[in-house]
A = this chain, B = another copy of it.
Amino acid sequence: MPRGRSERTESRPTREDVAKLAKTSGTTVSRVLSGREFQISPEVRSRVLKAARELGYSPNAAATALRSGRSGMIGFWMCLGYSRYRSQVADQMQRILSDEGLAMAVTDADHEYIFEHSISRAMRLPVDGIIAFDAFAAAGAFTELHNGLPPNIPFVSMGAYWSPAYSYVGIDLKAGAEMATDHFISLGRRRLAYLAPWNSGLLTDGPRYEGFRDRAMEAGLEPKTIAVESSTVDSLEESFRELQSSGNLPDAIFFVNDDLAMDAVPALERMGLCAGRDVALVGFNGTEGTERGGVPISTVRQPIEEMCHLAFQFLQAQWDDPKSPVQQKLLKPELIVRASSGV
> A: which residues have CB within 8 A of B?
1, 3, 10-13, 53-58, 60-66, 71-73, 80-84, 87, 90-91, 94, 98, 103-108, 121-127, 145-153, 229-235, 237, 262-263, 265-267, 269-270, 289, 292-295, 322-323
Of the residues B94, B98, B105, contact of A125 by C-beta under 8 Å: B105
- A266–B265 Cα distance when bound, in Å, is 9
Contact of A152 among B56, B94, B231 (CB under 8 A): B56
Asked if residues B107 and A105 are in contact (CB atoms below 8 Å), the reply is yes
Which residues of chain B have C-beta atoms less than 8 A from A55's C-beta?
A: 149
Q: Which residues of B contact A82 (CB under 8 A)?
A: 82-84, 87
Residues of B within 8 A of A60 (CB): 66, 126
Q: Return A302 CB to nearest CB of chain B, in Å.
A: 16
Residues in B whose Cβ lies below 8 Å from that of A84: 82
A121 to chain B, nearest CB (A): 4
Q: Kindly state the separation between the CA atoms of A64 and B270 in the bound complex, as whole angstroms.
A: 59
Contact B91 A81 (CB under 8 A): yes
Q: List 13 A-B contacts (CB under 8 A).
A: A1-B149, A55-B149, A60-B66, A61-B65, A62-B66, A73-B124, A80-B91, A90-B108, A103-B107, A106-B107, A229-B292, A230-B289, A266-B269
Q: How far is the CA of A265 from the CA of B270 in the complex (A)?
A: 11
CB distance from A259 to the nearest CB of B (A): 10
**A72 and B61 alpha carbons, distance in the complex (Å):** 14
Q: A105 — which chain B residues lie within 8 A by C-beta?
A: 105-107, 125
Cα of A94 to Cα of B10 in the assembled complex, Å: 30
Chain B residue numbers with a CB within 8 Å of A73 are 124-125
Q: How far is the CB of A8 from chain B (nearest CB, A)?
A: 11
Contacts A72-B124, A108-B94, A122-B103 given: A292-B145 contact, CB under 8 Å? Answer: no
Give 10 new A-B contacts, CB below 8 A, not counting A56-B146, A62-B66.
A58-B152, A60-B66, A61-B65, A61-B124, A80-B90, A80-B106, A103-B107, A230-B289, A232-B293, A234-B295
How far apart sit A207 and B8, CA to CA, in the bound complex (Å)? 43
Residues on B with C-beta less than 8 A from A1 are 148-150
The answer to whether A153 touches B12 (Cβ under 8 A) is: yes
